[in-house]
Amino acid sequence: MSYTIGDGMVALALAGGIVGYLYVTHRTRQQRIEVIHQERMAAMEKGIPLPELPLEPARERRPPDRNILTIMGSVFLTLSVGAMIVLHMNLPAPSHSIWVTPLPLAFLGLGLIASRFLLGEPGR
């Protein structure tokens, strides 16, 4: 295989982006720790007791969104029906029977959409 200069530039840009992201996250975490330390030192000089604070804020757990499966189902269904139409229209006559290839994704989409309506709302 022969790689081009563009391939090398893409790899370097990707590596630089990853390193830059890690640097920025490390730097913001370090600045937050410094601010907390300065606040605690000022409180200790004044004699004010401070409770222990976690260094990382706790993440709030949200219940899963029930619309995600319906959205994924409609995406699968529309993409597979579109692919079946394109395959049916553009394939030559000998390989015309391949248009049914995306049919499993269409059934998956229909199943996800149907599960939303068959399961109903909890507590109703």
Q: Give the pLDDT confidence score for residue 123 in this predicted structure.
A: 45
- Picking from 78, 66, 64, the residue whose alpha carbon sits closest to that of residue 108 is 78
Residues 22-72: tens digit of each pLDDT: 999 999 999 988 988 888 888 888 888 876 766 666 778 888 887 888 999
Is residue 81 within 8 Å of residue 108, measured between CB atoms? no
Residues 104-116: tens digit of each pLDDT: 999 999 999 998 8
Q: Give the pLDDT confidence score for residue 15 in this predicted structure.
A: 97
The dihedrals phi and psi of 101, each to the nearest 5 degrees, come to -55, -45
Residues 61-101: tens digit of each pLDDT: 888 887 888 999 999 999 999 999 999 888 888 887 888 89
